[in-house]
Structure 1
């Protein structure tokens, strides 16, 4: 799930070196978009989803435990 706050940063050549610059006003606008309104809600929802997934992965029977068991079985069979 993307948050739609991406930036297109143009490259320019300065003395043979590729330089990418962006106006601070553009960055400020994107940060405000993420901190206010609909995008803020989406960011918070996504953070909660990821938190739940992380908690489930480390709880008993979670995916981390199953992965540990698989690795143990594979290494014991070698």
Structure 2
């Protein structure tokens, strides 16, 4: 947890040069990677697609696998 706190206190990296498509997914109640950080990451990536799952935490992609898997496959196919 100390390492996560130190990492969270660092200045945000310049991601504007990342032009590859990026799929960013998280739960809206994740304690390890807070949703505000997920939103911030997606906003700083110029070609990002954001998926935030409601009422879920760090395991959102497993909790919502029936929704997530088709979205990932479509993202990878595009």
Q: TM-score, normalised by structure 2?
A: 0.28
Larger radius of gyration: 1
Higher share in strand: 2
Higher share in helix: 1
Q: TM-score, normalised by structure 1?
A: 0.28
Larger relative contact order (Cα-Cα within 8 Å, sequence gap ≥ 6): 2
